[in-house]
């Protein structure tokens, strides 16, 4: 019998399990599948995750002060997490948010870093060109540049660190997929979980952190389906030489939102108002020993959606040199100067978007909670999201300076689909 069972062993779930394991006299288990050795349509496996990668942008600033606060709380614990686990996952390369000075992205980010006293430099067009001569940005653009306490994290390694500490604190980590959760009463209420392998788990309380796959298994009470949009997004990894990687050694992580430059590819996927939404990471050495610049497009409210587990699986299992990967790779050569592309390939992930634009961290009933809906930017903040969720489910109290109302669970209106 567990006091808390966390379902979903990704970034948020593993963080929640670690924080719960730190509580005195609390017995915790974390249930979720390990990363598969391969992803193929022929495999019977249907459950995947978006953290199968070596890099995610991390920064303390954001155009939205709530997301900025979540990031700051989580990032304050990065180095302690590394020291305690013995796993390095954080590279402090800095991060730059660039775009036209009058654009909403730069304007809102500047307001946030100013109001929250986030250490940063404001780069005018001239300073931007002087600081990063290897970048090929529009002449009139500016940037908010976090020189410290920003960069990128390795999501695989972050999960390893969270699990290692949780295990050391007595948490049972179970490599399985939960297919059904129910509640029954034999005196006190009890949560029962059934896994795909047939294992039965009992716990007093359950936290669901299953991301894009939440609605594809019987995890929530009948008729309660979280309002999530599942957005298929792609990214490209462009291989560069060790020499080019060294030459670009001061390159920070970068996010761009704006009109772009005349030489940028015309067929690149655009945001509303024909804006470019691009992110780039500095050259990173991957497990294959090669250096890659990772790039992808920022999504918008009108991005295409998927709605079935078959569609999600097909998207996760599509990799390689696709037409979309070619477009994304072309942006790397457009934004950088003098970089020789040795090879490139693409990969896919799924974003679970909420109508509130914040993750759902809420109680479905007193013994069942959720922490879902990453909205594409939760990786860096996952430790704080997991902490808030774990404390909420364990103690039924909101433990954050941020307003609980912002994270309330929204359910789909299923009546419309029946008309």
Same domain, 140 and 171: no
User: Residue 81 falls within a domain, yes or no?
Assistant: no
User: Residue 129 falls within a domain, yes or no?
Assistant: yes
Closest CA to 123 of 276, 112, 137: 137
User: Residue 311 falls within a domain, yes or no?
Assistant: yes
Which CATH number does the domain housing residue 339 bear? 3.30.9.10
Same domain, 208 and 332: no
Same domain, 218 and 361: yes
Percent of the chain with pLDDT over 70: 98
Closest CA to 20 of 170, 178, 208, 211: 170
| Domain span holding position 394 | 2-51+156-225+357-418
Q: What ranges in 46-154 are assigned the alpha helix state H?
A: 65-75, 78-85, 104-115, 125-131
The answer to whether 351 and 299 are in contact (CB under 8 A) is: yes
Give tens-digit pLDDT for 356-414: 999 999 999 999 999 999 999 999 999 999 999 999 999 999 999 999 999 999 999 86
Same domain, 207 and 314: no
418 falls in which pLDDT band (50, 70, 90)? very low
- The pairing of strands 368-372 and 200-208 is parallel
Three-class secondary structure assignment of 217-278: CECCCCCCCECCEEEEEEEEEEEECHHHHHHCCCCCEEEEEECCCCCCCCCCCCEHHHEEEE
User: Residue 256 falls within a domain, yes or no?
Assistant: yes
Same domain, 132 and 266: yes
User: Residue 75 falls within a domain, yes or no?
Assistant: no
What is the C-alpha to C-alpha distance for residues 68 and 66, in angstroms, rounded to an integer?
5
Kindly state the average pLDDT of the residues 30-52.
92
What is the C-alpha to C-alpha distance for residues 16 and 8, in angstroms, rounded to an integer?
10
Kindly state the average pLDDT of the residues 103-128.
95
Same domain, 327 and 238: yes
What is the C-alpha to C-alpha distance for residues 395 and 399, in angstroms, rounded to an integer?
9
Kindly state the average pLDDT of the residues 261-280.
91
Same domain, 208 and 316: no
Is the alpha carbon torsion for 47, 154, 143, 245 positive or negative? negative
The set of residues, in sequence order, having a beta carbon less than 8 Å from that of 174 and lying 6+ positions away, is: 29, 30, 31, 32, 195, 199, 201
Same domain, 111 and 252: yes
The answer to whether 226 and 370 are in contact (CB under 8 A) is: yes
Same domain, 221 and 329: no
The answer to whether 55 and 151 are in contact (CB under 8 A) is: no
Same domain, 209 and 290: no
Which CATH number does the domain housing residue 392 bear? 3.50.50.60
Same domain, 257 and 218: no
Kindly state the average pLDDT of the residues 58-62.
95
Number of H helices, E strands in the chain: 10, 20
Measure CA 101 to chain center.
27
User: Residue 74 falls within a domain, yes or no?
Assistant: no
Total structural domains within the chain: 2
Q: What is the pTM for the complete model shown?
A: 0.95
Same domain, 381 and 284: no
Give tens-digit pLDDT for 119-172: 999 999 999 999 999 999 999 999 999 999 999 999 999 999 999 999 999 999
Structure confidence at residue 167 (pLDDT): 98
Domain boundary, last residue among 331, 353, 375: 353
User: Residue 82 falls within a domain, yes or no?
Assistant: no
Give tens-digit pLDDT for 158-183: 999 999 999 999 999 999 999 999 99
Domain boundary, last residue among 316, 334, 353: 353
pLDDT, averaged across the chain: 94
Q: What ranges in 76-168 are assigned the alpha helix state H?
A: 78-85, 104-115, 125-131, 155-168
Give tens-digit pLDDT for 291-322: 999 999 887 666 789 999 999 999 999 888 88
What is the C-alpha to C-alpha distance for residues 72 and 67, in angstroms, rounded to an integer?
9
What is the C-alpha to C-alpha distance for residues 214 and 220, in angstroms, rounded to an integer?
8
Domain boundary, last residue among 297, 332, 353: 353
User: Residue 236 falls within a domain, yes or no?
Assistant: yes
């Amino acid at each position: 019998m567990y006091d808390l069972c966390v379902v979903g062993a990704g970034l948020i779930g593993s963080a929640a399990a670690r924080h719960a394991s730190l509580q005195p006299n609390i017995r915790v288990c974390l249930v979720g599948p390990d990363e598969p050795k391969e992803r193929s349509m022929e495999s019977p496996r249907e459950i995947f995750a978006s953290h199968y990668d070596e890099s995610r942008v991390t920064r303390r600033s954001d155009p939205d002060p709530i997301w900025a606060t979540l990031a700051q709380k989580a990032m304050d614990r990065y180095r302690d997490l590394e020291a305690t686990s013995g796993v390095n996952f954080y590279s402090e390369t800095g991060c730059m948010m660039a775009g036209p000075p009058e654009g909403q992205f730069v304007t809102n980010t500047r307001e946030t870093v100013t109001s929250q006293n986030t250490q940063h430099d404001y780069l005018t067009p001239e300073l931007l060109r002087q600081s990063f001569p290897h970048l090929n940005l529009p002449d009139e653009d500016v940037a908010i540049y976090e020189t410290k306490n920003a960069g990128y994290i390795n999501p695989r390694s972050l999960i390893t660190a969270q699990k290692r500490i949780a295990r050391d604190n007595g948490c049972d980590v179970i490599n399985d997929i939960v297919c059904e959760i129910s509640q029954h009463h034999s005196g006190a209420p009890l949560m029962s979980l059934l896994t795909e392998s047939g294992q039965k788990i009992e716990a007093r309380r359950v936290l669901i952190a299953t991301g894009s796959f939440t609605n594809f298994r019987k995890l929530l009470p009948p008729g309660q389906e979280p309002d999530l949009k599942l957005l298929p997004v792609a990214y490209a990894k462009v291989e560069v030489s060790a020499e080019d990687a060294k030459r670009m050694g001061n390159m920070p992580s970068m996010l761009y939102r704006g009109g772009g430059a005349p030489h940028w590819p015309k067929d690149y996927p655009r945001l509303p108002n024909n804006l470019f939404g691009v992110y780039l990471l500095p050259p990173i050495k991957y497990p294959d020993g090669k250096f890659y610049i990772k790039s992808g497009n920022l999504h918008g409210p009108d991005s295409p959606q998927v709605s079935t587990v078959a569609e999600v699986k097909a998207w996760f299992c599509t990799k390689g040199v696709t037409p979309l990967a070619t477009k994304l790779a072309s942006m790397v050569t457009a934004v950088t100067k003098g970089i020789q592309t040795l090879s490139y390939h693409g990969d896919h992930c799924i974003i679970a978007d909420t109508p509130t634009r914040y993750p759902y961290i809420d109680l479905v009933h007193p013994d069942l909670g959720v922490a879902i809906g990453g909205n594409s930017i939760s990786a860096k903040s996952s430790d704080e999201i997991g902490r808030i969720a774990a404390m909420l489910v364990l103690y039924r109290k909101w433990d954050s300076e941020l307003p609980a109302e912002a994270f309330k669970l929204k359910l789909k209106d299923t009546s419309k689909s029946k008309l």
